[in-house]
Copies of this chain bind each other. A is one copy, B any other.
Amino acid sequence: MKVSALAESVGARVLGNGTVEVSGISSIRSASAGDLVFVEDERNLRLALESAASAAIAGSFAMKKTYSKPLLISKHPRLTFALAAKLLRSKSTRQSGIHSSAVVHSSARLAKSVTVEARVVIGEDVEIGAGSLLGAGCVIGQGVRLGGDCVLYPNVTIYPGTRLGDRVIVHAGAVLGSDGFGYVRDDATGSYEKFPQIGKLEIEDDVEIGANSTIDRGALDTTRIGRGTKIDNLVHIGHNCQIGEDVVIAAQTGLSGSITIENDVVLGGQVGIGEHARIEEGVMLGGQGGVLPNKVLRGKGVAFWGTPARPVREYLKQLGVLERLAKKK
């Protein structure tokens, strides 16, 4: 692909020879001829020019002069690089179709361009939209609805009745729609009776879910993951949680039941949140932070940290006080 054509597609400005061809992306360190790289400062620009890369995306700081290689100038080089990568990544040559070892229920409705790899099991009354790919060993329960252009990596399990929108990516080993953790203690016997877990799980468009993460169905109602939300590996989301749009949840974070996470929240890794808590729009919660049941965290762009979570400035002050006191002793 010519640099000029690529620049046009991603909304960047060409500096230098737009007829140079690029065919892939790379880091500066491992670039070879034909690769496109990106830089955000002068130092890396220098390294990019010395590398084998054929072209680079750079911020407007680079506009002053011309260089030995064509540049694509963009306000946000990293974003432009991500968009360019999407265009350049060799369209997977996979052929759609259903592998002979897959077990597909006769009542399942698969769009024509769906790819079903080896050993996939698809249950009764499942519906799968055009362009979706089911990796080897996935198990899709009865009545599941999958939108178009979804990618399920191998060995994913989806419990019956779960619904996924379009362009949802689910990494290997993730479990969607499992029973919530709800019991009622029988005081007469001391043992726990299972509370019914018959609700649903709905995952909206453009969500990505990391490897071996688990998201429980609602107990009686619905667990919901909003459009564009990104969930890392080994995350747990309990029954009845309502997760907003464009939320980011880093690895190993756990949400117990009936939690509300509003739009644009960012949760660090290993965060833990108690049932019925509400994290309001745009809050940021640092790694390993903990929120008590029923608590509300509020404030766009406000960062919280610690257990129980406090505004990060308060928390740092407290840590400082403690450190000074201990040094005096």
A2 within 8 A of B: no
A65 within 8 A of B: no
A272 within 8 A of B: yes
Assess A317 versus B329: contact at CB under 8 Å? Given A178-B171, A212-B173, A252-B272.
yes
A85-111 interface (Cβ within 8 A of B):
85-86, 89, 99, 101, 103
Contact B230 A192 (CB under 8 A): yes
Interchain CA distance A178-B156 in the complex, whole Å: 13
A213-242 interface (Cβ within 8 A of B):
214, 216, 219-221, 228, 230, 232-234, 236, 238
Q: Which of A14-22, A44-52, A125-133, A319-327 contacts B (4 or more CB under 8 A)?
A: A319-327
Contact B82 A29 (CB under 8 A): no
A25 within 8 A of B: yes
Contact A214 B233 (CB under 8 A): yes
A148-186 interface (Cβ within 8 A of B):
153-155, 157, 159, 169, 171-173, 175, 178-179, 181, 183-186
Q: Which residues of B contact A288 (CB under 8 A)?
A: 272, 288, 290, 307
Contact B269 A270 (CB under 8 A): no
Contact B159 A139 (CB under 8 A): no
Q: Which residues of B contact A79 (CB under 8 A)?
A: 184-186, 193
Contact A234 B251 (CB under 8 A): no
Interchain CA distance A157-B233 in the complex, whole Å: 14
Contact A272 B272 (CB under 8 A): no
A254 within 8 A of B: yes
Contact B157 A173 (CB under 8 A): yes
Q: How far is the CB of A92 from chain B (nearest CB, A)?
A: 10
Interface residues of A (CB under 8 A from B): 25-27, 29-30, 76, 78-79, 81-83, 85-86, 89, 99, 101, 103, 117-119, 121, 135-137, 139, 141, 153-155, 157, 159, 169, 171-173, 175, 178-179, 181, 183-187, 190-196, 198-199, 206, 208, 210-212, 214, 216, 219-221, 228, 230, 232-234, 236, 238, 246, 248, 250-252, 254, 256, 264, 269-270, 272, 274, 287-288, 290, 307-308, 314, 317-323, 325-326, 329
